[in-house]
Amino acid sequence: MSEPTLFHLEDGYQAWLGYRQIAPGERYDQYAFYTQITVTEQDGIMGTAVTELAQGIACMLGRQPEISEHSEGVPCITIGTFGNNPMVDQAFGMDIRAAIGHEGYGLKTDQENGCIAIGATSAVGILYGVFHLLRLFSTGSPVDRLDVVENPVNQLRMINQWDNIDGSVERGYAGKSIFYADNRITTNLPRIQDYARLLASSGINAIAINNVNVHQFETKLITGEYLPDVVKLADIFRAYGIKLFLSVNYASPLEIGELSTADPLDPAVRAWWCGKAAEIYAAIPDFGGFLVKADSENRPGPFTYDRDHADGANMLAEALKPYGGIVIWRCFVYNCKQDWRDRTTDRARAAYDHFEPLDGRFMDNVILQIKNGPIDFQVREPVSPLIGAMEQTNQMIEFQITQEYTGQQRHLCYLVPQWKEALNFETYNKGVGSSIKRIVDGSLHGNPYSGFAAVSNIGNDANWTGHLLAQANLYGYGRLAWNPELTSEAIAEEWIRMTFGENQQLVKVIRGMLMDSLGIYESYTAPLGVGFMVNPDHHYGPNVDGYEYSKWGTYHFADCHGIGVDRTKASGTGYTGQYKGDNFARYESLDSCPDDLLLFFHHVSYTHVLHSGKTVIQHIYDSHFAGVEQAAQLQAAWSSLEGSIDSHLYEQVANRLTEQAEHAEEWRDRVNTYFYRKSGIADQQGRRIY
């Protein structure tokens, strides 16, 4: 294991792990008290934990701490798994130790000698505890009375890389892949390790390292041609407590095997996958499992053989089961060759219609991975009604950190509030108290597996995420997956302090920018939940009719009278009927449907009056004018920080915000003009529309 690469701070490479040196003063003195680390374990993840702790402290205090097996009588930080370090055992009573799960940890300051103990049942718990303590140091928090027990709320906290082996990243906006180039796995392993550090420090414990769209060369990742290199990546992630998964091609038995079918009920196919699993686990004993996009957007799947998703997933699950591996089966299944003239087919219905009837049919090591909304990561969608609807089926939620539809890291859009809104959504699947977060943390249905997945936003740009402030989304995702009760503001503040330091004004300004950003972006893009008013293919920029006559099932049906999709049971596609309890009635009725989802559920006239008191058309105009003003305010806010931030970092963000402000104007004008021309209704305030 090489030392983590230490790039210079100015390019954003170190992200929230920059551990800037603390200036002399009260805060410095508090931390400088600790000159020693005591630890009795050094293997594997424990080695990582010690290295991270020592290095973090060295950076912040400007000198290396001693590392020893026993306390030398000086104030120390002692770390260890229970039963292996007497100081740790002494610090935590049995009741506390019992409360600490496999990935949990305790942090405790000894009130007599001031020593801090980090205890856990496993090395990975220690690593998380170390990152916790470093976070306290780097955010200037007190450590003199620590008495913390932390367990992750969610079991799987996963990242999906949509990286292709040719080096491209599907929906990537931060350069090329750090994993691949020219159809080979990278040899730049230090960068992979640095990514593992970032992920582990935010709480991530699983990663699928290739795109769910598995093309020709990626299909071979599970063959001897690539597997030795995959092993190297697995080794790196393992040292940070992160399990490695691979996206697989459902048609592998045909494409890389010698079989003439991929029928999941064919014994030869089943045997082929069993053999393949054995081969993979021989190389990577703790391999996580397979991520599968099947029968979706032209990818192969069990439908080819008149089998269903349960047949397909169970075949793979059977092969992985002996090794403790799991199958993560994506539910992003819909008709992507729809006729735009057909108003009865509703893409929003598709995932539920496909999967809900299969409840109970999936093996217990299959997890369904369900996008947060029923369409596709729009800035505003209702929560997918499939999440929680299958009581006997493992489920996890899928978010998109990469900003495909939310500004592509050219616009600022802090997504944690969006994710929290989904997590807090009440599904009524088991009556009141059935929020999404209780489904994905496993507590509602009590199934063996559950958790979070999200599509990464990183690439080989020096600052990882293109837009420096988009690092907050990567960090925030991990933190939220660890504990969905954290507030968006608190996560933002942690990230800002770790990234930029302690300046109170700076923290306040950036936190305000992050918190406002989602609403701003939403306001100058698609209004009232209508979604998908984007340019085809690349999905950047407004194009109101961009998908209106396409095969993708994403229509808004705007005409000269009104706009929106009637998804009611009464008169529309019946999608509202997929919601339980009060949700159905709330969405079904025009009176109770929330404004921000109105056009998702109802087709209304432009003169329909919203709960806000505005008409639909006036809301469109107002929100687009306001969004542009607010985008300009983001620029102004950032400008106020010039001088408080390293100039390279300052310029990076200033340039993006300038582009955002310019593009917001263009988007405002295009959207407003489209609706003005279509409706013929003038802006009440007489502002310029073309």
Q: How far apart are CA 518 and CA 524, in angstroms?
A: 11
Collapsing DSSP to helix, strand or coil, 526 comes out as coil
Among residues 194, 218, 346, 376, the one annotated as catalytic is 376
Among residues 52, 163, 381, 404, the one annotated as catalytic is 404
Other beta carbons within 10 angstroms of residue 278's beta carbon come to 12
Contact residue for a copy of itself among 45, 366, 558, 593 (CB under 8 A): 558
Q: What is the DSSP letter of 437?
A: H
Q: Does 102 bind a copy of itself (CB under 8 A)?
A: no
Q: Does 560 bind a copy of itself (CB under 8 A)?
A: yes
DSSP per-residue codes, 376-420:
SS-SS-PPPTTTTT-TTSEEEEEEE-S-TTTTTTTS----HHHHH
Q: Does 549 bind a copy of itself (CB under 8 A)?
A: yes
Contact residue for a copy of itself among 47, 191, 676, 683 (CB under 8 A): 676
CB nearer a copy of itself, residue 334 or residue 674: 674
Burial class (CB in 10 A: 0-12, 13-18, 19+), 658: middle
Q: Does 686 bind a copy of itself (CB under 8 A)?
A: no
Q: Which helix (H) or strand (E) holds 492?
A: helix 488-500
Q: Does 678 bind a copy of itself (CB under 8 A)?
A: yes
Q: Does 673 bind a copy of itself (CB under 8 A)?
A: yes
Q: Does 670 bind a copy of itself (CB under 8 A)?
A: yes
- In the complex, least distance from residue 678 CB atom to a copy of itself, rounded to whole angstroms: 6
Are 75 and 33 contacting, i.e. CB atoms less than 8 angstroms apart? Answer: yes
Q: Does 672 bind a copy of itself (CB under 8 A)?
A: no
Among residues 69, 297, 485, 642, the one annotated as catalytic is 297
Give catalytic status of residue 662 as yes or no: no
- In the complex, least distance from residue 689 CB atom to a copy of itself, rounded to whole angstroms: 10
Cα dihedral across residues 302, 306, 308, 310: positive or negative: negative
CB nearer a copy of itself, residue 549 or residue 686: 549
Q: Does 636 bind a copy of itself (CB under 8 A)?
A: no
Other beta carbons within 10 angstroms of residue 652's beta carbon come to 22
Half-sphere exposure of 167 (CA within 13 A, CB side): 11
Q: Does 144 bind a copy of itself (CB under 8 A)?
A: no
Question: Would you give the end-to-end CA distance of the chain in angstroms?
Answer: 60
Q: What is the footprint of a copy of itself within residues 374-413 (CB under 8 A)?
A: none
Residue 345: name the closest of 182, 646, 574, 592 by CA: 574
Q: Does 690 bind a copy of itself (CB under 8 A)?
A: yes
- In the complex, least distance from residue 346 CB atom to a copy of itself, rounded to whole angstroms: 16
State CA 173 to chain mean position distance. 15
CB nearer a copy of itself, residue 240 or residue 606: 606
Number of shown-chain residues binding a copy of itself (CB under 8 A): 21
Burial class (CB in 10 A: 0-12, 13-18, 19+), 548: middle
Q: How far apart are CA 182 and CA 99, in angstroms?
A: 48
- In the complex, least distance from residue 547 CB atom to a copy of itself, rounded to whole angstroms: 11
- In the complex, least distance from residue 664 CB atom to a copy of itself, rounded to whole angstroms: 15
From the list 56-64, 74-82, 614-622, 675-683, the region that binds a copy of itself by CB under 8 A is: 675-683
Contact residue for a copy of itself among 561, 571, 651, 684 (CB under 8 A): 561
Give catalytic status of residue 404 as yes or no: yes
Helix (H), strand (E) counts: the chain: 20, 18
Contact residue for a copy of itself among 305, 340, 540, 650 (CB under 8 A): 340
Residue 250: name the closest of 306, 315, 165, 185 by CA: 315
Q: Does 338 bind a copy of itself (CB under 8 A)?
A: no
Are 152 and 204 contacting, i.e. CB atoms less than 8 angstroms apart? Answer: no
From the list 351-359, 477-485, 503-511, 665-673, the region that binds a copy of itself by CB under 8 A is: 665-673
Q: At what angle do helices 647-679 and 616-639 cross, to 10 degrees?
A: 170
From the list 251-259, 405-413, 445-453, 677-685, the region that binds a copy of itself by CB under 8 A is: 677-685
- In the complex, least distance from residue 677 CB atom to a copy of itself, rounded to whole angstroms: 4
Give catalytic status of residue 376 as yes or no: yes
Other beta carbons within 10 angstroms of residue 72's beta carbon come to 10
Residue ranges that bind a copy of itself, judged by CB under 8 A: 340-341, 543-545, 549, 557-561, 669-670, 673-674, 676-680, 690
Would you please indicate which residues are annotated as catalytic (active-site) residues? 297, 376, 404
